[in-house]
C-alpha cells in the first residue's frame, strides 16, 4: 500500500488532471463496450458474452484497413461497419434462436461463439500479437493542461466517446427507434402487440451494440496490442461496469465506466498491488447495497 | 423414503465395483487418469448443480470452493504431517466456513445479481491467492509437490490406489448429494426455487434454505478440489479463477440440470471432447465451439435431460396415446419432480 | 564417434546411396528395435494470448529434429516430437504431460510450458521419474531451489538471475556515468515480474549505490491498458525506468507511453525488448531503449548464429524468438547426450547431460554447458545494449564475463539459502 502517493497526488492539480484524464480514457473505451452490453440486456434480456469478440474484430479490422489505406477515419469506419455487419449475421443465425430461452443455454451458445470467433481471428490474422501504430495526425507531443499531461489522441478519444454517448442518449430519448427500445425494455409483449416487428428491432439493437463495440476496438487499436482473445478482459470489465451502473441503463454504463476508470488510475497510486481487486470490491459493495446497480430499476 | 435410499446405495456400490474392476480390463494408465479427473470435476459440477438445478441459483463463482479445497488441502499437507483423511475433513470444514460467510452475503440476491456477486467474491479470493505469496506461492501455485503419506495401508502416491480412492470418494460424494436432493430438505429447496413466495407462506425460511444449499455445494466442490490437487500434486490460482466456474457451468449445461447424473454425463462428455479435440485439431476452439453450438441449438438442453425427456415423452405416448406439447421448459418442470421422487 | 551410431550412419549411407537425398531419411530404414522412434513429448501453449510461445518453440524444435534425425537420431533412433496444446493451464499441462508418457509412449519430455505450467510438469516428472527438460521457464527457483530439484529434470532456458546480474551491472555503469539516481520500475505483477525486477534492482544498487527506487508500478499480466501506470510514473519523474514487461504487453506499454512522451523524459531499460517479435511489431520504436538480448541474430556476432537465424526465417517466414533458441538448443543437447551415453535411454541420457558442454551458435563463447550441480544451462549469450528502430536493432551488445556472472549467482544462492 502506498497511501502517501495517493494523498500527495490528491493535493496536486497537475497530478489530479493527469490521473483523471487517464481514468476518463480507460472509462470511455469501457463505456462504448458496456453500453452495447447494457442495451442488449435491456431489450433482449440476454447477457451477451460474445460482446468482447466484436471489440476484437473491430480492432483487427481497423488495423487491416489502416494498413491498406493509411487513413484512420476509414479504419474507424471499417471497424464499426464491419463489426456491425458481423453482428447482424451472428444475431440472425444464432442469437435469435436463444432469446427468452434458458439463461444457461444462452451462455453456452455465447461461449461456443467466442471460442469460434477467437480461433477465426487466429486463422485470419495469425496467433502472434500485432500493433497498429499511431496515425500520423496524432504523432505530436502531449499537451499540458493545468500542469497535467494529456496526449492529443486521448483528447480525441474522449471527445469521440462523449459525443457518441450524447447522440445515443438523445436518440434513445427522442427518436422513434429509441422510444421503441425503451418500450421493449419495459414491456416486450406490449411492443409486439402494438405491431412492431420485434425480430427486426432485436437485430437492430444487437447490431448497434456490435457497432459500438467495433468502434471501441478501432479507437483502442493504435494504443493496445492486438491478440486473439483480447476481447476477453474488456468483456469482464464491461460486465463489472454494467452491474455497477445497473443492467439496462445507459447513464449507469457511463457512470460505471468512469468510476472503474478512476478506480484504476487512482487505485494504481494508492494500492498498486490491489488495483484489480478494487474493481471487484466495488462491484460486490454496489451489489450488496443496491442489487440492481446504481441506476438500475428494481424490477430489472 | 427407505427404498430409494437402498436402491441408490446398491447402484452406488455397483458403480464403484465396476470402476474398481476397470483397471483389470485394460492396462492403460490414461484411463486411470481420466477417471480421476472425472471424479474431481464430476463432484465439482454436481455440487454446482445443487445450486443451479435444484436451487435455481446460477453461481459464476463456484470455482472459489474448488480452488479453496485444492489450496487448503495442499497447504495442510505441506505444512503439517496430518493424515490424509483428517486433512480432507479439515479442508471441508474450512470450505464450509468460507461458504457460510460468502453465502450469507450472496444468497439474498436474485438471479443475475447473485451470479455476479459470487463472481466478484471468487475474483477477490483469486487476487488474495496471487497476492499472499508466502502461504500460497502466488501465481506459481503450491510448488514442490503435495506429500501423500500412507494411511490405513493406502498409498495415494501410487496412481492405481489414487484411482480407487478417487472412485470411492466420487461414489460416496454423489450418493451423499443424491441423498440430500431426495431428502425433505431437497424438496424444500425445489419449492424455494419454483416459488419462493409460496415457500415463505408455508413457513419456510427461504434465506436459510438457500444458504444451507450454498454451504453444502461449497463443501462438495472443495472435495473435488482435493482430488484435483492430489492428481496434479499441487494447487494453482487457475483453480480459483472464474474460468473454472465457467467450465462447471458449461459441464452442467452440457449434461443437463434436471437429471441428477446430468453433470456427471457432462463431465465425461466435456473431458472426452476436450482430450480428443486437443489431440487431433490445432484449432480446437473452432472445433469445440462448433460441436457445442450444434449441441446447444440442436438439443436446447443438456444431453441427459434430452434423453430422459425423450424417453418420458415416448412412455406417456405409449401409455395414453396423448400428445405432449413440445415446450421444453414445461416438460422439464413437471418431470423434475417425478424423476427425483422415484 | 560411438559404434552403434556409426553403424546407423553406415546403414543410412547405404540406403541414401540407393535412394534420394539423405536429409529426409527418418523412415523405417532399419528393422527391429533400433528403428523404433524415440517419442518425445512436447507440452506447450498453442492457443490463447501466448500461442506464439508454443508455435515458435515447436518450429525451432522441429527444425533441429530434422537435422538430428538426418544425422542418425538418438543413438540410431529417430526423434518424433509429440506436440500437444496445454492452453496455458497448469492442470492441463499436468494432464497432457502424464498422457504423453502414459498413453502416447513418450520416453522423455521437453516441457515448453511457461512458468506455472512448468512447475506442474515438474511434479509429473517427479511422479513418473522420466527425463524432462524445461525450455521456457526462466523462474530461477525452478532449478536453483534444492527443495524442488529432481535428478531427472533439467532446464534449457535462460535463468532470471543471470539476466539480472548482467542487466544490473550494465545499468549501473550508465547510472554512475550519467548520475542517474532516481529510478522507477514498471513490471507485470506475477512471480517472474517481481523476482526479475527485485534482482535487477538489487544488482543495480550494489554497483551504483546512489540509486534509489522512487516509484513502482505493477500492472497485471495481459492488462490491455497501462495508462494508469504511465501517468503514475510521469508523476514520480524518475530519471530512468526499468521494466520486464514482455511480448504484447511491452509493445502496448510502449505505444501508450509514447503518446505521453514518456521516453523523452527518462531512460528506459526493458529487458525483454530485443526480441524480434517485439522489435518488429512496434511501429514507432523509440530509439535508445536499453534492452537485454532475447534472441538476436547479431549477438553473438558469429556467422553461425546469423546462419541459424536466417535458416529459421527462411523456413518459417519470421525470425526466431527467445523461446525458439531454447527449444532448438534442447534438441542439440539431447542429441549430444545420446551420443555420449551411447543410448537413447532416459536415465543414461540424464547422466550424460549433467555437466555436458556442447557447441552452439548461441553460446557466449560458442559453447553452452548444462551445469551438473543444478542441471540448468550456463554459458549462453547474455548481453545488454541500446536499440535502434531498424535492423540490426541492437548494433552493439555489452556482456559480463560468465565467470563473473557465476560468482554473483553463487552469492545470491547463498543469500537465498539455496546452497
Task: Map out the domains of chain C as residue ranges.
Answer: 3-14+32-159+301-378, 161-300+381-416
pLDDT, position A274: 73
| pLDDT at residue C32 greater than cutoff 70 | no
Residue of B nearest to A124 (CA): B283
Spatial CB neighbours of B157, under 8 Å, sequence gap ≥ 6? B148, C127
C-alpha span between C119 and C94 (Å, rounded):
9
| pLDDT at residue C23 greater than cutoff 60 | no
Shortest alpha-carbon distance between residue B289 and chain A (Å)? 4
pLDDT, position C35: 56
* Cβ contact, residue pair C224, A269, below 8 Å: no
C-alpha cell at B111: 438471479
* Cβ contact, residue pair C248, A276, below 8 Å: no
Mean pLDDT of chain B: 82
| pLDDT at residue C349 greater than cutoff 90 | yes
Same fold: C3-14+32-159+301-378 with C161-300+381-416: yes
Q: Which residues pair with C155 in a beta bridge?
A: C134, C376
Q: Which of A134, A142, A230 sits opposite C261 (nearest CB)?
A: A142
With cut-offs at 50, 70 and 90, classify the pLDDT of residue C17: very low
* H or E element at residue B255: helix B242-255
CA distances C414 to A191, A268, B244, C154, C197, Å, are: 75, 35, 39, 21, 19
Mean pLDDT of chain A: 86
Shortest alpha-carbon distance between residue A183 and chain B (Å)? 22
* Cβ contact, residue pair C95, B37, below 8 Å: yes
Coil vs helix vs strand at C266: coil
pLDDT over 70, % of chain C: 92
Residue of A nearest to C249 (CA): A225
In terms of pLDDT, which residue wins out, A288 or B225?
Answer: B225
pLDDT, position B334: 39
With cut-offs at 50, 70 and 90, classify the pLDDT of residue B331: very low
Q: Which residues pair with B235 in a beta bridge?
A: B142
Q: Domain ranges for chain A, please list them.
A: 3-130+150-289
pLDDT over 90, % of chain B: 22
Q: What's the start-to-end Cα distance of chain C, in Å? A: 37
Q: Which of C120, C122, C189 sits opposite B236 (nearest CB)?
A: C120
Least confident window among A8-17, A128-137, B199-208, B331-340: B331-340
Pick from C348, C200, C320, C344: which is nearest to C269 by CA? Answer: C200
With cut-offs at 50, 70 and 90, classify the pLDDT of residue B3: low
CATH class of residue range C161-300+381-416: alpha beta
pLDDT, position A57: 95
| pLDDT at residue B326 greater than cutoff 60 | no
Partner A contacted by C261 (CB < 8 A): yes
CA distances C43 to A109, C92, C230, C323, C327, Å, are: 29, 9, 36, 14, 12
C-alpha span between C366 and A34 (Å, rounded):
55
| pLDDT at residue A179 greater than cutoff 80 | yes
C-alpha span between B178 and B182 (Å, rounded):
6
Query: Which single residue is written with the C-alpha cell 502496448?
Result: C252
C-alpha span between B186 and B189 (Å, rounded):
5
| pLDDT at residue C180 greater than cutoff 80 | yes
Strands A143-145 and A148-150: antiparallel
Strands C131-134 and C153-155: parallel
Mean pLDDT of C289-310: 91
| pLDDT at residue B340 greater than cutoff 70 | no
One DSSP character per residue, C176-221 reads: HHHT--EEEEE--SSHHHHHHHHHHHHHHHHHSTT-EEEEEE-PPT
pLDDT, position B336: 40
In which region does residue B148 sit, left (phi positive, over 0), alpha (psi from -120 to 50) or beta (all else)? beta
pLDDT, position A298: 55
| pLDDT at residue C131 greater than cutoff 90 | yes
pLDDT, position A175: 87
pLDDT, position A151: 87
pLDDT, position A147: 75
In terms of pLDDT, which residue wins out, A249 or A31?
Answer: A31
Residues 13-42 of A with CB under 8 A from C: 14-15, 18-19, 22-23, 25-26, 29
pLDDT over 70, % of chain A: 97
* Cβ contact, residue pair B238, C115, below 8 Å: no
| pLDDT at residue A134 greater than cutoff 50 | yes
Chains contacting C with at least 3 CB pairs below 8 Å? A, B
| pLDDT at residue C13 greater than cutoff 60 | no
Residues 53-92 of B with CB under 8 A from A: 58
Least confident window among A291-300, C32-41, C113-122, C258-267: A291-300
Tell me if A286 sits within 8 A of A244, measured CB to CB. yes
| pLDDT at residue C36 greater than cutoff 60 | yes
Cβ-Cβ contacts under 8 Å, B289 against chain A? 111-116, 119
Partner B contacted by A112 (CB < 8 A): yes
Spatial CB neighbours of B278, under 8 Å, sequence gap ≥ 6? B284, C84, C85, C87, C96
The DSSP letter of residue C344 is: -
* Cβ contact, residue pair A243, B113, below 8 Å: yes
Partner A contacted by C2 (CB < 8 A): no
Tell me if B211 sits within 8 A of B104, measured CB to CB. yes
Coil vs helix vs strand at A289: helix
Pick from C105, C42, C39, C104: which is nearest to C78 by CA? Answer: C39
C-alpha cell at C402: 560468465
Cβ-Cβ contacts under 8 Å, B239 against chain C? 91
pLDDT, position B224: 94
The DSSP letter of residue B165 is: H
ipTM value for the complex: 0.84
Answering whether pTM is above 0.80, one says yes
> pLDDT (tens digit, 9 = 90+) per residue, C157-177?
999 889 889 999 999 999 999
* Cβ contact, residue pair B257, A104, below 8 Å: yes
In terms of pLDDT, which residue wins out, C247 or B100?
Answer: B100
Least confident window among A54-63, B155-164, C88-97: B155-164
- In chain B, what is the greatest distance between 2 CA atoms, to the nearest angstrom? 68
Tell me if C292 sits within 8 A of C163, measured CB to CB. yes
> pLDDT (tens digit, 9 = 90+) per residue, C354-390?
999 999 998 999 999 999 999 999 999 999 999 888 8
pLDDT, position C315: 94
Architecture of the CATH domain B2-252: Orthogonal Bundle (1.10)
With cut-offs at 50, 70 and 90, classify the pLDDT of residue B321: low
Coil vs helix vs strand at C2: coil
| pLDDT at residue C11 greater than cutoff 50 | no
CA distances B60 to A191, A233, A251, A260, B182, Å, are: 32, 16, 26, 21, 25
Q: What is the CATH number of domain A3-130+150-289?
A: 1.10.3470
> pLDDT (tens digit, 9 = 90+) per residue, B126-138?
888 887 878 888 7
The DSSP letter of residue C27 is: S
* Range A32-56 burial, b when 16+ CB lie within 10 A, else e: bbbbbbbbbbbbbbbbbbbbbbbbb
| pLDDT at residue C313 greater than cutoff 90 | yes
pLDDT, position B27: 66
Partner B contacted by A105 (CB < 8 A): yes
Residues 259-278 of A with CB under 8 A from C: 264-265, 267-269, 272-273, 275-276
Residues 195-224 of A with CB under 8 A from C: 220, 222-224
Mean pLDDT of chain C: 86
Shortest alpha-carbon distance between residue B233 and chain C (Å)? 6
Pick from A73, A86, A96, A76: which is nearest to A32 by CA? Answer: A76
Least confident window among B86-90, B179-183, B293-297, C19-23: C19-23
Question: Would you list which residues of chain C are within 8 Å, Cβ to Cβ, of chain B?
Answer: 46-47, 84-85, 87, 89-91, 94-96, 98-99, 102-103, 115-116, 119-120, 122-124, 126-127, 139, 141, 147-148, 189-191
Residue of C nearest to B141 (CA): C116
> pLDDT (tens digit, 9 = 90+) per residue, B39-72?
999 999 999 999 988 988 888 889 999 999 999 9
Mean pLDDT of B316-331: 56
Q: What is the CATH number of domain C3-14+32-159+301-378?
A: 3.40.50.2300
Cis peptide before A269 (omega within 30 of 0): no
Strands C397-398 and C212-217: unpaired
CA distances B65 to A245, B47, B103, B204, B217, Å, are: 28, 10, 12, 27, 9
Spatial CB neighbours of B282, under 8 Å, sequence gap ≥ 6? C46, C85
| pLDDT at residue A236 greater than cutoff 90 | no
Partner A contacted by C89 (CB < 8 A): no
Pick from C370, C322, C399: which is nearest to C162 by CA? Answer: C399
> pLDDT (tens digit, 9 = 90+) per residue, B189-198?
888 888 888 8
C-alpha span between C134 and A183 (Å, rounded):
60
C-alpha cell at C53: 510461445
Tell me if C72 sits within 8 A of C33, measured CB to CB. no
| pLDDT at residue C122 greater than cutoff 70 | yes
Coil vs helix vs strand at C396: coil
* Cβ contact, residue pair B278, C96, below 8 Å: yes
Amino acid at each position: 500500500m502506498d497511501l502517501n502517493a495517493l494523498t500527495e497526488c490528491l493535493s496536486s492539480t497537475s497530478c489530479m488532471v493527469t490521473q483523471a484524464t487517464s481514468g476518463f480514457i480507460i472509462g470511455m473505451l469501457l463505456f462504448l463496450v458496456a453500453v452495447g452490453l447494457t442495451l442488449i440486456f435491456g431489450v433482449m434480456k440476454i447477457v451477451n458474452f460474445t460482446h468482447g469478440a466484436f471489440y476484437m474484430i473491430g480492432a483487427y479490422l481497423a488495423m487491416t484497413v489502416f494498413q491498406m489505406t493509411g487513413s484512420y477515419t476509414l479504419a474507424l469506419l471499417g471497424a464499426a461497419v464491419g463489426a456491425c455487419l458481423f453482428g447482424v449475421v451472428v444475431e440472425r443465425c444464432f442469437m435469435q434462436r436463444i432469446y427468452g430461452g434458458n439463461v444457461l443455454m444462452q451462455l453456452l451458445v455465447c461461449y461456443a461463439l467466442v471460442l469460434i470467433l477467437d480461433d477465426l481471428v487466429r486463422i485470419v490474422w495469425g496467433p502472434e500479437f500485432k500493433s497498429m501504430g499511431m496515425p500520423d495526425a496524432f504523432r505530436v507531443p502531449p499537451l499540458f493542461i493545468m500542469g497535467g499531461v494529456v496526449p492529443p489522441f486521448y483528447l480525441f478519444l474522449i471527445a469521440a466517446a462523449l459525443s457518441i454517448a450524447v447522440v445515443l442518449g438523445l436518440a434513445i430519448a427522442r427518436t422513434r427507434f429509441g422510444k421503441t427500445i425503451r418500450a421493449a425494455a419495459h414491456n416486450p409483449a406490449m411492443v409486439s402487440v402494438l405491431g412492431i416487428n420485434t425480430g427486426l428491432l432485436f437485430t437492430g439493437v444487437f447490431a448497434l451494440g456490435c457497432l459500438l463495440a467495433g468502434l471501441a476496438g478501432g479507437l483502442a487499436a493504435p494504443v493496445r496490442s492486438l491478440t486473439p482473445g483480447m476481447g476477453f478482459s474488456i468483456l469482464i470489465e464491461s460486465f463489472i461496469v454494467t452491474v455497477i451502473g445497473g443492467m439496462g441503463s445507459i447513464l449507469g454504463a457511463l457512470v460505471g465506466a468512469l468510476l472503474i476508470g478512476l478506480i484504476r488510475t487512482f487505485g494504481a497510486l494508492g494500492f498498486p498491488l490491489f488495483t484489480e481487486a478494487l474493481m471487484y470490491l466495488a462491484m460486490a459493495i454496489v451489489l450488496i447495497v443496491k442489487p440492481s446497480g446504481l441506476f438500475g430499476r428494481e424490477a430489472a | 423414503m427407505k427404498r430409494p435410499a437402498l436402491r441408490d446405495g446398491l447402484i452406488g456400490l455397483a458403480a464403484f465395483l465396476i470402476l474398481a474392476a476397470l483397471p483389470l480390463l485394460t492396462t492403460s494408465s490414461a484411463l486411470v487418469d481420466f477417471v480421476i479427473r472425472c471424479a474431481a470435476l464430476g463432484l465439482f459440477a454436481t455440487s454446482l448443480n445443487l445450486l443451479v438445478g435444484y436451487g435455481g441459483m446460477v453461481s459464476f463463482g463456484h470455482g472459489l470452493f474448488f480452488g479453496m479445497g485444492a489450496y487448503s488441502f495442499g497447504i495442510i499437507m505441506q505444512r503439517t504431517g496430518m493424515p490424509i483423511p483428517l486433512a480432507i475433513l479439515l479442508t471441508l470444514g474450512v470450505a464450509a466456513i468460507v461458504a457460510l460467510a460468502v453465502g450469507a452475503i450472496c444468497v439474498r440476491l436474485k438471479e443475475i445479481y447473485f451470479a455476479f456477486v459470487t463472481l466478484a467474491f471468487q475474483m477477490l479470493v483469486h487476487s488474495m491467492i496471487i497476492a499472499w505469496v508466502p502461504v500460497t506461492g502466488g501465481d506459481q501455485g503450491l510448488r514442490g509437490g503435495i506429500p501423500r503419506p500412507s494411511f490405513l495401508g493406502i498409498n495415494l502416491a501410487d496412481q492405481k490406489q489414487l484411482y480407487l480412492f478417487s472412485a470411492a470418494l466420487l461414489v460416496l460424494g454423489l450418493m451423499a448429494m443424491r441423498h440430500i436432493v431426495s431428502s425433505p430438505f431437497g424438496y424444500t429447496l425445489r419449492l424455494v426455487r419454483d416459488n419462493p413466495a409460496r415457500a415463505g407462506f408455508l413457513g419456510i425460511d427461504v434465506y436459510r434454505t438457500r444458504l444451507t444449499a450454498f454451504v453444502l455445494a461449497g463443501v462438495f466442490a472443495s472435495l473435488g478440489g482435493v482430488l484435483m490437487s492430489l492428481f496434479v500434486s499441487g494447487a494453482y490460482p487457475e483453480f480459483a479463477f472464474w474460468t473454472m466456474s465457467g467450465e462447471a457451468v458449461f459441464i452442467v449445461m452440457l449434461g443437463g440440470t434436471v437429471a441428477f447424473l446430468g453433470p456427471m454425463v457432462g463431465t465425461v462428455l466435456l473431458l472426452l471432447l476436450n482430450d480428443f479435440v486437443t489431440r487431433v485439431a490445432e484449432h480446437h476452439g473452432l472445433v469445440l465451439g462448433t460441436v457445442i453450438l450444434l449441441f446447444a441449438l440442436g438439443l436446447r438442453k443438456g444431453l441427459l435431460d434430452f434423453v430422459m425427456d425423450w424417453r418420458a415423452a415416448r412412455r406417456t405416448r405409449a401409455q395414453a396415446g396423448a400428445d405432449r406439447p413440445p415446450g421444453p421448459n414445461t416438460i422439464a418442470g413437471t418431470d423434475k419432480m417425478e424423476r427425483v421422487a422415484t | 564417434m560411438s559404434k552403434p551410431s556409426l553403424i546407423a550412419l553406415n546403414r543410412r549411407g547405404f540406403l541414401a546411396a540407393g535412394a534420394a537425398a539423405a536429409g529426409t531419411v527418418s523412415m523405417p530404414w532399419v528393422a527391429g528395435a533400433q528403428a523404433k522412434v524415440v517419442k518425445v513429448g512436447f507440452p506447450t501453449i498453442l492457443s490463447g494470448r501466448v500461442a506464439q510461445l508454443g508455435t515458435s518453440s515447436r518450429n525451432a524444435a522441429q527444425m533441429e529434429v530434422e537435422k538430428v534425425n538426418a544425422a542418425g537420431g538418438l543413438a540410431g533412433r529417430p526423434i518424433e516430437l509429440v506436440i500437444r496444446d496445454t492452453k496455458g493451464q497448469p492442470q492441463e499441462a499436468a494432464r497432457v504431460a502424464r498422457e504423453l508418457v502414459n498413453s502416447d509412449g513418450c520416453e522423455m519430455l521437453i516441457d515448453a510450458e511457461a512458468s506455472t505450467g512448468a512447475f506442474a510438469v515438474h511434479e509429473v516428472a517427479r511422479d513418473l521419474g522420466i527425463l524432462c527438460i524445461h525450455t521456457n521457464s526462466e523462474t530461477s527457483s525452478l532449478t536453483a531451489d534444492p527443495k524442488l530439484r529432481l535428478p531427472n529434470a533439467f532446464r534449457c532456458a535462460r535463468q532470471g538471475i543471470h539476466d539480472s546480474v548482467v542487466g544490473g551491472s550494465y545499468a549501473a555503469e550508465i547510472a554512475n556515468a550519467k548520475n542517474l539516481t532516481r529510478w522507477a520500475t514498471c513490471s507485470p505483477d506475477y512471480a517472474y515480474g517481481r523476482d526479475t525486477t527485485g534482482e535487477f534492482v538489487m544488482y543495480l544498487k550494489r554497483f551504483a549505490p546512489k540509486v534509489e527506487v522512487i516509484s513502482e508500478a505493477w500492472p497485471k499480466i495481459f492488462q490491455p491498458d497501462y495508462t494508469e501506470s504511465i501517468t503514475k510514473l510521469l508523476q514520480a519523474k524518475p530519471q530512468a525506468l526499468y521494466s520486464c514487461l514482455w511480448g504484447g504487453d511491452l509493445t502496448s506499454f510502449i505505444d501508450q507511453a509514447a503518446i505521453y512522451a514518456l521516453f523523452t523524459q527518462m531512460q528506459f531499460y526493458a529487458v525483454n525488448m530485443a526480441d524480434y517479435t517485439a522489435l518488429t511489431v512496434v511501429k514507432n520504436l523509440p530509439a535508445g531503449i536499453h534492452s537485454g538480448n532475447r534472441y538476436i541474430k547479431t549477438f553473438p556476432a558469429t556467422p553461425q548464429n546469423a546462419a541459424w537465424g536466417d535458416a529459421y526465417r527462411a523456413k518459417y517466414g519470421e525470425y526466431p524468438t527467445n523461446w525458439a533458441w531454447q527449444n532448438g538448443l534442447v534438441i542439440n543437447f539431447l542429441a549430444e547426450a545420446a551420443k555420449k551415453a551411447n543410448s537413447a535411454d532416459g536415465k543414461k541420457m540424464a547422466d550424460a547431460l549433467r555437466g555436458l558442454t556442447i557447441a552452439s551458435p548461441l553460446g557466449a563463447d560458442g559453447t553452452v554447458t548444462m551445469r551438473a550441480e543444478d542441471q540448468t544451462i550456463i554459458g549462453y549469450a547474455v548481453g545488454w545494449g541500446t536499440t535502434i528502430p531498424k535492423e540490426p536493432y541492437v548494433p552493439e551488445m555489452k556482456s559480463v564475463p560468465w565467470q563473473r556472472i557465476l560468482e554473483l549467482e553463487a552469492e545470491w544462492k547463498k543469500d537465498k539459502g539455496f546452497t
